[in-house]
């Protein structure tokens, strides 16, 4: 058995969020020198179970094994399942949690590689309207040239988590993994809690309440204004009112 190859595969599984639970079965299958095999795994995110099948295949001389892909099945209750296959390239790819987020409809920010091996960053999102020949959902890609700037979308919105470098880093990192992230927004001295998720296709973010129900983005995305035009007009009318009354009294005295 190629122990160096085995340790490399174990490290890949750990980095991709599958932990160490399948390590014993992985070693057992490799020791048998079978051409290919699949290992089951399971995770639970936000009280939703995801079943995985991890696929391994031997090289030509069966001394090296490769983790090529995994199937993910999101259980959404009776007779409701979401299935998707994710491919792994040299240990790099979608993680177990990112697969869940993609299947939930959210977007994930990843480093990808073109045919020349050059790296670039792009937001990925599953396409519900288009399938591959194998029945997999197509993956929509929104690269840096598409024009979605997450930091710009969230700036000047009164988000308290952006007040520090650490809070900003944690917020953006979580959103790029496809997580719905809680934020605190201050409006006219009052704090409100929301959840947000990146929406690169529409160059914005989706907004949710504490029960993860979608609400209007306008409530968050409008920059905070110190005083609205209607408030200014009302204040001006109140200030002018005593002067008008005084003028009326002067006329009556004459």
Examine the domain organization and report whether 93 and 155 are in the same domain.
no
C-alpha distances in angstroms, 87 versus 24, 46, 69, 149? 23, 24, 4, 27
Q: For residue 243, tell me if it sits in a domain.
A: no
Coil/strand/helix, residue 200: helix
Q: For residue 174, tell me if it sits in a domain.
A: yes
Q: For residue 125, tell me if it sits in a domain.
A: no
Examine the domain organization and report whether 14 and 82 are in the same domain.
yes
Examine the domain organization and report whether 2 and 99 are in the same domain.
yes
Q: For residue 18, tell me if it sits in a domain.
A: yes
Question: Rounded distance, CA 176 to CA 124, Å?
Answer: 10
For residue 162, the enclosing domain spans 150-221
Of 69, 103, 137, the one marking the end of a domain is 103
Q: For residue 200, tell me if it sits in a domain.
A: yes
Question: Rounded distance, CA 201 to CA 106, Å?
Answer: 11
pLDDT at site 75: 84
Examine the domain organization and report whether 56 and 154 are in the same domain.
no
pLDDT at site 79: 64
Examine the domain organization and report whether 73 and 158 are in the same domain.
no
Helices (H), the chain: 3-15, 23-32, 96-103, 150-154, 165-176, 218-221, 229-253
pTM: 0.83
- Per-residue pLDDT of the chain in tens (254 residues, 90 and over written 9): 789 999 999 999 999 999 999 999 999 999 999 999 999 999 999 889 999 999 999 998 778 999 999 999 998 766 678 999 999 988 899 999 999 999 999 999 999 888 888 889 999 999 999 999 888 999 999 999 999 999 999 998 889 999 999 999 999 999 999 999 999 998 778 899 999 999 999 999 999 998 889 998 766 666 555 444 444 454 454 444 454 444 444 433 33
Question: Rounded distance, CA 195 to CA 187, Å?
Answer: 16
Of 137, 116, 115, 135, residue with least CA distance to 124: 137
Q: For residue 75, tell me if it sits in a domain.
A: yes
């Amino acid at each position: 058995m190629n122990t160096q190859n085995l340790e490399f595969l174990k490290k890949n599984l750990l980095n991709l969020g599958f932990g160490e639970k399948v390590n014993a079965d992985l070693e057992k299958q490799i020791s048998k020198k079978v051409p290919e095999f699949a290992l089951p795994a399971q995770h639970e995110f936000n009280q939703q179970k995801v079943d995985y099948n991890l696929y391994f295949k031997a090289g030509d001389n069966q001394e090296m094994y490769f983790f090529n892909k995994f199937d993910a099945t999101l259980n959404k209750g009776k007779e409701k399942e979401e299935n998707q296959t994710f491919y792994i390239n040299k240990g790099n790819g979608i993680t177990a949690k990112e697969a869940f987020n993609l299947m939930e409809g959210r977007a994930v920010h990843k480093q990808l590689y073109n045919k020349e091996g050059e790296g670039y960053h792009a937001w990925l999102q599953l396409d519900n309207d288009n399938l591959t020949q194998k029945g997999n959902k197509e993956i929509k890609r929104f690269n840096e040239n598409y024009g979605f700037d997450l930091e710009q979308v969230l700036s000047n919105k009164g988000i308290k988590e952006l007040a520090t470098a650490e809070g900003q880093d944690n917020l953006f990192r979580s959103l790029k993994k496809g997580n719905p992230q809680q934020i605190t927004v201050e409006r006219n001295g009052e704090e409100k809690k929301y959840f947000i998720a990146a929406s690169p296709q529409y160059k914005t973010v989706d907004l949710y309440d504490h029960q993860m129900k979608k609400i209007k983005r306008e409530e968050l995305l409008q920059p905070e204004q110190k005083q609205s035009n209607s408030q200014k007009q009302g204040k001006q009318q109140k200030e002018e009112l005593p002067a008008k009354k005084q003028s009326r009294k002067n006329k009556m005295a004459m």
